[in-house]
Structure formats: structure tokens, C-alpha cells
Amino acid sequence: GVYVLIHHTITVVEAFTLVAMVNISRAALNQLPLAIGGLSKAKIAYSRIDAFLSSTEVASMPALQSISNQTAKSTPTNKVPLLSEQIEVEGAAIGRGRISIRDGSFGWPANPTGGDVVVVTPADEEIADEKFVKRESRVSNTDNQHFQLYGVNLEIERGSLVMIVGKVGSGKSSLVNAILGGMPRTSGMLEIGGRVAYVSQDTWIRNATLRDNILFEEDYDEQRYANVLVASQLEMDLKALPNGDLTEIGERGINLSGGQKARVAIARAMYRTGTDVLILDDPLSAVDPHVAHAIFDKCIDGLAASQTRLLVVNSHYDLLERADQVVVMHDGVIAAQGTYQDVLSQFPHLSSYTTRSSEDGNKEGTSNDPVATLVVPGGDEIETLISERIKRTSDNKQAEIGVKAEVTHDMEVKQDKTSGKLIRAEDRVKGKVGGRVYKTYFDETGLNGVVVMLVVVAAYCAGQAARTVVDWWPGHWAREMPRRGVDPTFSNTTFGMWYLGFLVLCTVVSFGRALMIIESCVRSSQNMHDELFRRVLRAPVTRYFDVTPMGQILNRFSNDLDQMDSILPQEYQTLLQNASLAFGALVVSAFASYWIGVAYIPIFLIFLYIGKYFKKSSREIKRLEGITRSPVYNLFSETLSGLDTIRAFRMQDNFTKQNQRVVDMNANLYLTYWSASRWLATRLDILSVAVIFIVALYLVATVGSVGSLTSGLSLTYSLMLTSMVQWVMRSVDRTDNAMTSVERLLFFRQIENEDDDGRTMAELLETEPKAASSWPSRGTIRFDQLCLRYRPELPLVLKGVDMEVAAGEKVGICGRTGAGKSSLMVALFRICDFDSGRVLIDDVDISTINLRELRRSLAIIPQDPVLFSGPLRENLDPFHEYSDERIWSVLKQVHMADSLRRWGAGLDFEVAEGGDNLSVGQRQLICIGRALLKDSKVVVLDEATANVDTATDALIQTTIKETFADKTVLITPYQHNHAL
């Protein structure tokens, strides 16, 4: 149109030359938005990578680090290196096994949302140290104060035993992190000599066998291994596991109880050779008192007697007498340190806790524990085992020989590996992506998938017809140009307006069809995500989450979902557009002469053969690439969760190599996929040249017999056809590969959901919903011959439990670690289906109740506290059912209200992901507050105060007794005095 406007005339040759030029440039213009989008993504990615790589390096262990006070004061806190330059000569500075901190100050990086919540107990108010009072005053008047350790001076000699005590949030774990190099140092000097072994408070368990968790990449020494199993009290657990120490533990130690995980972590530290410094961050709180004393005697004061030992204790204060040095922490300050007697003169309340713990130990040493006899099935057998361990009547040497024989048997005799196999291998579909997958994908639009596909294809055919007319019209206009000045009916304006109208029509149709496919894909993606996410949320814990690595789920909900969200709509758009162009070009070329169409047949058969051959390989490579990405996610998440332990053991190089191995495996398949694409491109280019040559040769050979308009149009479309066919083949392959992600996501549809066919309480009780909402009104519980197993292939964990709990009764459930205490709680909340028997609450069989209603009617304070990122208010009251006054009242009951007010953020305190900006004890207090807020008639406490110091524990126990006076309470105590 512009050319005619300028020159007032145009020939057919000129017209098709311009059309060809426009078509050639059109492909580049179509790629321009994609290139801009890709450039923007790359810029963002590079900036984030640059920010990460430019951040301060964190060394694994401060062999020797110092920084002057002047430098620290002149440098902003968030700019001070986490660790200064290291002298990596173990023990060269101060001698192996020694720890020295002089005028050390440490602080976590400033968090705009956070401060540290501090629990205040009456015992702490007895402290009268002037410098301590001044420090407390200065901190409390500072807004947005992130937690810090101030003026730390600590000298620990080789081979000494140091115990660290203090209330929740006082800085015990922070001091440990500072020594390990994880907490940034702002001033002073820190020196530590020798090799370190570490047991964290949040026990880290790898997704591997029990043996691999203990060895932790160390060489296997049969005798030392057997000694460690005996000392860490794992010999009985070894016999209970289906495949001994070759049993898979599972992700996050899901196959073990809390106490078992703690003992595995202790065994890992004990097995490490050449350890000079052993640091244990309160692992004894997770085990029963008698087991804790046995571990202390055989591990801490036994195998590790020659090592320097730092032990954080929140309970078992009767062990303090055996420490060479006791350190008392309070609000980031060492309030006192010295021998037990020295500290006792300043903190006399420790003596009362010590006496109480000793008395509890004596009580639990008896074989006629009435609580244990009441609630533990098979109590006689368990009591016999416990009494045997407490009395230590068995000879240690014989135990070692027994464990050694069992381990040897495991190695020499081939056992049934499936019994010890926990993690389920990731599914892999072979062969072509079925048509059902495509139909299901478009069914998710909410309409019939076949109808949607037909409408979309028809829209693209109509759009191509409009585009063909747009390309044909300039030639027709040029052919009619000789009439200009001769025929008065001829008008360039008329032809130009028609051309403009065709352009507008083509634009509208092209935009409409693109909008149609994008909208269909977006709706499918959104609906599928919502449905599959609901299925995952409703999946059974024991039969799905316990056997499925989190990396598999993350892989599908990240990479595969991104393929469906971002890549698939683009690929469908490209495929349909190029397919319609190729089809239009073929029709036009064949219209010029049927011989051209006949010549196309063998060429396109070759195209199809090559494409089919390529798809077989590329599709399987893409599936393998998706499967090999899951180990990358698994290892990455596992490494992050155990970063402190990995750094303490100096295992960074080992895990780096593991990461390189899984990344290389995935990258090899990724590169293979793109190399195969280059293989396809080369052969398609050769075939495209053949197509152009055939059309051009035919037109030259038949010059005069084919019209110039038809010849020009067919040659133009043949040129376009060469590139379009390549794009069609690539688009078919890439769309098919992207659909493998949909195929993998649809696997979630096969997940067995929890049985939730139960009726609502209103239906069961035949009453109004308002009256049914008060269920349970009394809180009576009856276990009627209950048998439970976590999965069909596993043995029973509850065997014919038969007991009744009266309304308002408080029942302590005691037993050895792994005896089935937590399994009773699992049954009460129907986390897994019963093998036989039933549980009745207020005479209602809970298996007949809607799961959602059942679980909302009960309250639990779990063994492992769970918090979510967001305001504290939403962690306590996620459904916004209670007033702020009620929430503050509960916070006061768990002794956190004063601390939150002093910090300033109140209920808007921003909890980090997983509660990482709170100590484990603080997380447990929040979970206790959540249960108090719920005000249910049935409350379950599963070792609720295991990580809380003794003073706070006493207050919480008092609060629980007062608040739950009229409630039915099932308690799994970590100390037996809680059950009495």
C-alpha cells in the first residue's frame, strides 16, 4: 500500500518481492518479543546470582578469628564479615580441644521484622547483677533489636565438660552457633582448636539408611560402630527396624521418633574419628530421663570422655553436678560461669530443679510405674526391658558382641531389601504421550476438551485463510494495475481500502485466536494446579508423604508447573500458528500445480519419519531430565536443613561433590536434549532446501504455463514453507515434551486421598449445626481393641489397645522411645486408617466423622513445633476466630506477652519461615498458645515442653493444669513427673 502510494503503480514481480521480504522479516519480528522477554529474565537472574556470589563467604569453622573493636565500631553490623580470614591449621593457635572467646560480641543479621522473644520467669528475676540489669535496660529500649551476644568471655580447657543452661531465648543456641562460626561476630576474638563434632537441637537426619546416617561418609569400622550403637542406646531400636541398620530412615527422619532421631545424631557425633571438641545442643531433652542418663554415662562421659564437651541442657539438671564448668545465659549475656557450686551460690533455684530431677529419676527407675502400666499395651514386657536398662544388669561387652554379630549378619546374609525400603522411586512413563493426556489438559478449561481443540483449530484455519488473502491481494492489485488510466472503474483507493480491510480482519482474527489458546491454557493450568494441590493436601501422611521425597513434589510443583504455566501456552501458540502457515503454503503451492503437491508427498513422508524418530528419543530424554531433577531438589533441601551440621563436621567439599554429581547427571540429559534438537535442525534444513529447489525447478521448467500471480505466490509460500515446516516439527516436539510435564502432574490424580466419607456431627447427632459444634461436650475417650499400622506392608505399631479415659481425666502415656506413644495420637486424629478396632469420643466412632470436623474439634501440641511464615497473630489464629484480647490472654498464659510488648511488634511480629527467627523452645510455646486458644475438650500434649528450660516448664505445667482442669488431656511426657 505504501509502495503504491509513493510510486502510484506496482508490478506482480514487485508485489511478491515485497510480500516475500515482509514474510522473511515477520519471523524475526515474531521472535523480538520473546528475545526481549528472555533478556529481561536473564538480567533478573544474573542480578540475583551476582548478589549471591558477591555476598560474604562463610567459613566452616573459626580456627582463629579476630577483629578489633575499633574496626567493628566503624563498620556497620550488616557489613562486618561473618568470619574473618582463617588460619586453617587445626589447633595451631591455642592447642587442640581448647576454646577461647575474649570480649566477643555476636549478632544475627538485622531483620526488619524481627527481634527475639524472651520468656521471663520468676527465677530469672532473682538475678541482681548490675551489669546485667543495665544491659537488659539498654536492649529493651531499642526498637527492632535483633538478638545479640554481648561481652562473651569464655575459656574452655581441653577435655573439660561444660554445660550451658538458661531460660528459653536466653542465647544458649546462639552461643553454640557463635562458637561454630554460624553467628556473625562483630567484635572480639574467637579461637577453637581441633576437629569438631556437633549435634543440633533441631535433629538433622539424612534421607539414607541408619548406617549411612551414623557413618556420615566415614569409613566403616565394625568394632567402633558396634560400640557406638551400644553407647547411644540404639541396639534395641536396631532389632526393631525391619532391615536393621540398613533400613532407610526417610526424609527428615520421618521413620523415627523424636528420641530415636536424637540418638542417631548423637551416634553420628560419637562415631566421628579424631574429634577434639564435641558440641551438643540440648539433644537429651528429646529422650526419656533414664535413656538420657545412659547416653550421658556411655557417650558424653564415656566414649567422649577425653574430648572437650559443650552440652546445652534444658532439662536433666541433676547432671549439672558432673560438669567441670556451668555457664548460665540470660538475654545474650553470660550471667554466671564456674563450677556447679559457684553457680549455685548465684542461682540457688538450680538446686531445687536438680533435686526434683533426681527424685523423678528414682521414680522412673521402679518397675511398677502405675502410669506406664495403665496406658502401655504389653506393659510387662516393656517394663522388663526398661528395668533391665536402668539397673544395667547386662554386661556391656556382651551387648557389643551382640550388636556386632547382628551387624555382621546384616552384611553377610542377604536380607529382604524391600522390607527396609522406605522411599518410593519416582514414576516414569514410557512411550508416547497419550491422547488422553491432551484431552484431559483441555478438559481442565471447564469445557469439553475435544470441542475446545476443534474450535481453536478452526480459529487458526480461519486466521490463515485471512492471511492468505492478505498475501494474495497485492498480486491481484498488481495484475489489475494496467487498467489504471484506461478503465474509469479502477481505483487505487478502492484496492487500498480493501487491502486495509483485509489487514484489519487478519489482525483481529490472529489476535482472537491467540487470545483463545492463551485463555484456554491459563484456565487449564489454574484449574489443574488447584485440583492437584488439593489432592496433595489431602494425601495420607503415612502412605504418601512418608515415602515420597519432598524434592519430587517440589520438582513437579516448580519446574513441571512452570512448563505448564509458561512454556506450554507459548508452544501451543507457536505450533498452531506454524502448522496453519505450513498448511496454507502447501495448499497455495499445490494450487499452482498438482505436480508440486505430488512432489511434496515423499518429502513430507521423510519429514514425518525423521520427526517421529526424533520424538521417540527426545521425549524419553525429556522425561529422564525431569526425573533426574528431583535428586537435585532433594539434596539441595536436605543440605540447607543440615547446613549447621555439615559446616561443623567440615563436610562442605563432600556435599559439593554430591551436588556436582546430581547436577551433572541432570545437565547431561539437558544438553543431550538440545544436541538432539540440533540433529533435527540439520536434517530439516536439508529437506527445506530440497522443497525450494523442486518448486523453483518446476516453475522454471513450465514457464508460461503457470500464471505469474500463481507462480509468485507459490514460490513465496514455498520459501516460507521451508522455515515453517522446521518450526512445526520443532513445535510438535517441544509441545509433546512440555506435555510430559502435564503427564507428570497428572500423576497426582492417582494419589490416594484420606478416607473422608464421614458425616458431619450435625448429621451424626441429628441435631442443629450450632449444637453439633460443641462436640465433644464431655471429652470421654475409648480405645476399643485398636490395632494400627502405618502402611499395609509394615507391622502393627498398636496391638489391641483397649482402654477408657473418663471426661476431664489427665492420662500420662509413658514408654520407651518408639514404643507407640505418638501412635496413639496418630490414631486419635485419624492420621492413618485403623487395621482393626475403633476409637470413640463421647460415644461417637471417630471413623464415621468427617475428617475436617474431627480434627478441628481436637487440640494438639505436637512434638515437633510447626510455624508458618507470617504474623504471629495468624500463627495463633489462622482462621481469625478470636479477638486480640483473647490472643493476648493466651500469650500471657504461656509467658510470652511481656516479651512481645517489650519488643514492640506485638501480634504483628513476623515469624520467619519455619519459625527460624525463634528458638525451638519459643516455637513450642507458640504451639501451646495455639492449643490454649482453641479451648477444645480433648487436648493432646506430645512432649510439648521438651525443648523448654526447667523453670519455664514448671510454669507451663502449672498453666496447663489450671487451664485444662476440665479438659481431657493425653500427655506424652518427656519427663515422667509430667504424667504424675
Q: What would the mean pLDDT of 294-306 be, rounded to a whole number? A: 91
Q: Do the Cβ atoms of 262 and 951 come closer than 8 Å?
A: no
C-beta contacts of 434-440 below 8 A and 24+ residues apart: 437/739, 437/742, 437/743, 437/746, 438/739, 440/742, 440/746
In the predicted model, is pLDDT for residue 198 greater than 80?
Answer: yes
pLDDT tens per residue across span 608-661: 888 888 888 888 888 888 888 888 888 888 898 888 899 888 888 899 999 999
The whole-number pLDDT of residue 777 equals 85
Tell me how far apart the alpha carbons of residues 978 and 119 are, in angstroms, rounded to a whole number: 21
Query: How much of the chain exceeds pLDDT 90, in percent?
Result: 12
Q: Residues 760-773, buried b or exposed e (16+ Cβ, 10 A)?
A: ebbebeeeeeeebe
Look up residue 241 and give its three cell numbers: 527396624
In the predicted model, is pLDDT for residue 1 greater than 60?
Answer: no
Q: CB count, 10 Å around CB of 408?
A: 12
Query: Is residue 678 included in any domain, yes or no?
Result: yes
Q: Which amino acid appears at position 32 of this protein?
A: L
Q: Which amino acid appears at position 73 of this protein?
A: K
The whole-number pLDDT of residue 906 equals 81
Q: What is the DSSP string of 664-716?
A: HHHHHHHHHHHHHHHHHHHHHHHHHHHHHHHHHHHHHHTBTTB-HHHHHHHHH
Q: In which domain, by residue range, is 738 found?
A: 2-51+430-750
The whole-number pLDDT of residue 446 equals 87
User: Could you give phi then psi for residue 206, rounded to 5 degrees?
Assistant: -85, 155
Tell me how far apart the alpha carbons of residues 648 and 200 are, in angstroms, rounded to a whole number: 10
Look up residue 443 and give its three cell numbers: 478438559
Q: Ranked by mean pLDDT, which of 80-94, 393-407, 748-762, 875-889 comes out on top?
A: 875-889
Tell me how far apart the alpha carbons of residues 476 and 708 are, in angstroms, rounded to a whole number: 10
pTM for this model (two decimals): 0.65
Look up residue 916 and give its three cell numbers: 527460624
In the predicted model, is pLDDT for residue 91 greater than 70?
Answer: no
Q: Which amino acid appears at position 647 of this protein?
A: R
Q: What would the mean pLDDT of 493-500 be, rounded to a whole number? A: 79
CA 803 to chain centre: 38
Q: Do the Cβ atoms of 688 and 640 come closer than 8 Å?
A: no
Q: What is the DSSP string of 921-948?
A: HHHHHHHHHHHHHH--SEEEEESTTTTS
In the predicted model, is pLDDT for residue 88 greater than 50?
Answer: no
Q: How many residues does the chain have?
A: 980
Q: Which amino acid appears at position 269 of this protein?
A: A
Which residue bears the cell 508427498? 601
The HSE-up count of residue 108 (CA atoms within 13 Å, CB side) is 21
pLDDT tens per residue across span 501-553: 888 888 898 888 889 998 999 999 999 899 888 888 888 888 888 778 777 78
Q: What average pLDDT is seen over the chain?
A: 76
Give whole-number Cα distances, 605 to 600, 610, 618, 724, 739, in Å: 9, 9, 20, 16, 24
The whole-number pLDDT of residue 718 equals 66
The whole-number pLDDT of residue 416 equals 43
Nearest of 476, 532, 479, 471 to residue 503 by alpha carbon = 471
**More reliable by pLDDT, 730 or 104:** 104
H/E/C letters for each residue in 537-601?
Answer: HCCCHHHHHCCCCHHHHHHHHHHHHHHHHHHHHHHHHHHHHHHHHHHHHHHHHHHHCHHHHHHHH
Secondary structure of residue 448 in the 3-state scheme: coil
Name beta bridge partners: 803. Answer: 783
pLDDT tens per residue across span 909-921: 888 877 777 777 7
Tell me how far apart the alpha carbons of residues 99 and 337 are, in angstroms, rounded to a whole number: 15
Nearest of 344, 355, 347 to residue 316 by alpha carbon = 355
Q: Do the Cβ atoms of 699 and 707 come closer than 8 Å?
A: no
Q: What is the CATH number of the domain that holds 682?
A: 1.20.1560.10
> pLDDT tier at 295 (50, 70, 90 boundaries)?
very high
The whole-number pLDDT of residue 840 equals 92
Q: What would the mean pLDDT of 732-749 be, rounded to a whole number? A: 84
Q: Which amino acid appears at position 849 of this protein?
A: I
Exposed, middle or buried: residue 284 (CB in 10 Å: 0-12, 13-18, 19+)? buried
Query: Is residue 680 included in any domain, yes or no?
Result: yes
The whole-number pLDDT of residue 862 equals 79
In the predicted model, is pLDDT for residue 428 greater than 50?
Answer: yes
pLDDT tens per residue across span 899-949: 777 766 788 888 887 777 777 777 878 888 888 888 888 988 877 666 666
Lowest mean pLDDT among 79-93, 347-361, 728-742, 784-798: 79-93
Query: Is residue 814 included in any domain, yes or no?
Result: no
Tell me how far apart the alpha carbons of residues 346 and 174 are, in angstroms, rounded to a whole number: 23
Lowest mean pLDDT among 24-33, 133-142, 447-456, 719-728: 133-142
Q: What would the mean pLDDT of 192-201 be, rounded to a whole number? A: 89
Tell me how far apart the alpha carbons of residues 745 and 764 are, in angstroms, rounded to a whole number: 37
Nearest of 186, 172, 55, 183 to residue 108 by alpha carbon = 183
Tell me how far apart the alpha carbons of residues 645 and 827 are, in angstroms, rounded to a whole number: 34
The whole-number pLDDT of residue 110 equals 59
Query: Is residue 204 included in any domain, yes or no?
Result: no
pLDDT tens per residue across span 462-479: 888 888 787 777 767 677
In the predicted model, is pLDDT for residue 356 greater than 50?
Answer: no
Lowest mean pLDDT among 5-19, 730-744, 841-855: 5-19
In the predicted model, is pLDDT for residue 28 greater than 50?
Answer: yes
Tell me how far apart the alpha carbons of residues 23 and 717 are, in angstroms, rounded to a whole number: 9
H/E/C letters for each residue in 51-103?
Answer: HHHCCCCCCCCCCEEEECHHHHHHCCHHHCCCCCCCCCCCCCCCCCCCEEEEE
> pLDDT tier at 782 (50, 70, 90 boundaries)?
very high
Exposed, middle or buried: residue 496 (CB in 10 Å: 0-12, 13-18, 19+)? middle
Nearest of 59, 58, 60, 325 to residue 195 by alpha carbon = 60
* Angle, alpha carbons 931-936-803 (nearest 5°): 105
Tell me how far apart the alpha carbons of residues 279 and 696 are, in angstroms, rounded to a whole number: 81
The whole-number pLDDT of residue 689 equals 78
Number of domains, the chain: 1
Tell me how far apart the alpha carbons of residues 586 and 599 are, in angstroms, rounded to a whole number: 11
Question: 3-state DSSP helix/strand/coil percent for the chain, to nearest 5?
Answer: 60, 10, 30
> pLDDT tier at 92 (50, 70, 90 boundaries)?
very low
Q: Do the Cβ atoms of 265 and 199 come closer than 8 Å?
A: yes
In the predicted model, is pLDDT for residue 720 greater than 50?
Answer: yes
Name beta bridge partners: 706. Answer: 703
The whole-number pLDDT of residue 619 equals 81
Q: Ranked by mean pLDDT, which of 108-122, 256-270, 855-869, 896-910 comes out on top?
A: 256-270
Query: Is residue 954 included in any domain, yes or no?
Result: no
Tell me how far apart the alpha carbons of residues 171 and 328 are, in angstroms, rounded to a whole number: 10
Q: Do the Cβ atoms of 593 and 702 come closer than 8 Å?
A: yes
Tell me how far apart the alpha carbons of residues 976 and 864 are, in angstroms, rounded to a whole number: 19
pLDDT tens per residue across span 651-709: 888 999 999 999 999 999 989 988 888 888 888 778 777 777 777 777 677 766 656 65
Tell me how far apart the alpha carbons of residues 297 and 306 are, in angstroms, rounded to a whole number: 13
Q: Which amino acid appears at position 654 of this protein?
A: N
Spatial neighbors of 534 by CB under 8 A, at least 6 apart, are none
The whole-number pLDDT of residue 708 equals 60
Query: Is residue 723 included in any domain, yes or no?
Result: yes
Query: Is residue 972 included in any domain, yes or no?
Result: no
Tell me how far apart the alpha carbons of residues 338 and 379 are, in angstroms, rounded to a whole number: 43
In the predicted model, is pLDDT for residue 393 greater than 80?
Answer: no
DSSP symbol at 866: -
Query: Is residue 539 included in any domain, yes or no?
Result: yes
pLDDT tens per residue across span 97-148: 899 999 989 987 754 443 443 433 333 434 334 333 333 333 333 344 467 8
